[in-house]
Amino acid sequence: MADEAEEAEEPELTEKQKSEIAKWFLVNAPVGEIQYVAKDVRALLRDDRLYEEAAAEAFPVFNKAHLLVLEMPGMSGDIIVSSFGEIDDNNYFDPRTGQVATVNHVKQVCTKVRPAYDEELPTAYVEQFRFALDAEICKYAGETYPKGTYAVYCTRGKDVDGPGSDFELAVVISASRTRPKNFCNGNWCSIWTLEFNDDLQSIEAKGKMQVFAHYFEEGNVQLDAKNECRDSTMMQSPDDCAVSISNIIRHHEAEYMTSLEESYLHLSDTTFKDLRRKLPVTRTLFPWHSTFQFSLTRDISRELGIGK
């Protein structure tokens, strides 16, 4: 019997397996909560070296995936930790200020900044398109995402010095709302890649929008919604291009937000019903028709007679 018991015992996980599990939990942490998850992961591992190795790999992935916004030293503004501005593992370019910030991914802070080198900046020709678009996105983001941050990068063709060649810009918008004391966190991320085609005199726009949300008051509900779209406009003067692109972004993002709001109105008839059996262990049908009248605590408890 003793031998059978020993055979039934699960083998000890290897360090590599423990590290992979730790990285998974860190990378998949809800927005604004990775530091809390990291504290628990570190306690469970009980191995500082293993934790630090896992954190060093997981935090950069998490920060870039959620377009983390950090304040740069010296009150010089905020920077988005994005692959579009990544110079190397720890240095990120901010096109609005022309600075490069050094980031500590695990602590999620900027430690220092320096002026960008000439080779890290686009030419004057490309910059006039980037700068004009930056000004229009500033207006749009200020109206739509009051607590959001944006950046407009040149991602291809930095050395283009005049008409006749193609180049590419990217618009990145990040807006977060973290309220852990109210048991909810979330953020909006949108990325627009803009291909300027000189031969066709056109601009191809590809948008990716993503919404993350986590509500955890006596429960655990997470939302991860994504949407992609395409559009195009004619290549004109820098100012006219900027207005056209801004209107495209405004239209598609407003349309996606409207679709999200409409889907929320039908959650009680679709998603919520799929989360549980029609007839629970109480043998009482759940009143789906009035779910919007309940809170997750007091109202549902009263309706179902729980805790009486």
Give 52-96 as a 3 state SS string.
HHHHHHHHHHHHHHCCCEEECHHHCCEEECCHHHECCCCEEEECC
Mean pLDDT of the chain: 86
Q: Looking at residue 299, what is its pLDDT?
A: 46
Give long-range contacts, CB 8 A cutoff, 24+ apart: 292-298. 292/268, 296/217, 296/218, 296/219, 297/217, 297/218
| Residue 186 predicted with pLDDT over 80 | yes
Q: Which residue has the tokens 């009482």?
A: 284
Q: Looking at residue 308, what is its pLDDT?
A: 46
CATH class of 69-115: alpha beta
Choices 3.40.640.10, 2.60.40.10, 3.30.70.270, 3.30.1140.60: CATH for 13-64: 3.30.1140.60
Q: pLDDT tens digits for 284-296?
A: 655 555 555 444 4
Q: Looking at residue 184, what is its pLDDT?
A: 86
Q: Looking at residue 294, what is its pLDDT?
A: 46
More confident residue, 242 or 218: 242
Distance, in Å, from the CA atom of 90 to the CA atom of 81, rounded to the nearest integer, reads 10
SS3 content of the chain, % helix, strand, coil (to 5): 45, 30, 30
The residues, any chain, with a CB within 8 Å of residue 41's CB and separated by 6 or more, are: 22, 25, 26, 51, 54
Q: What is the dihedral sign for C-alpha 182, 41, 102, 131?
A: negative
- Would you place residue 183 in the very low, low, confident or very high pLDDT band (cuts 50, 70, 90)? confident
- Would you place residue 277 in the very low, low, confident or very high pLDDT band (cuts 50, 70, 90)? low
Q: pLDDT tens digits for 38-79?
A: 999 999 999 999 999 999 999 999 999 999 999 999 878 899
Q: Domain 122-265 is of which CATH architecture?
A: Alpha-Beta Complex (3.90)
Nearest 5°: the CA angle 193, 25, 80 is 30
Q: What is the mean pLDDT of residues 74-87?
A: 92
Q: Looking at residue 279, what is its pLDDT?
A: 53
Q: Looking at residue 222, what is its pLDDT?
A: 84
Q: What predicted TM-score, i.e. pTM, was given to this entire model?
A: 0.82
Q: pLDDT tens digits for 242-263?
A: 999 999 999 999 999 998 888 7
Q: What is the mean pLDDT of residues 223-229?
A: 92
Q: Do domains 69-115 and 122-265 have the same CATH topology?
A: no
Distance, in Å, from the CA atom of 209 to the CA atom of 190, rounded to the nearest integer, reads 4
Distance, in Å, from the CA atom of 60 to the CA atom of 51, rounded to the nearest integer, reads 15
Boundaries of every domain in the chain = 13-64, 69-115, 122-265, 275-304
Q: Looking at residue 264, what is its pLDDT?
A: 73
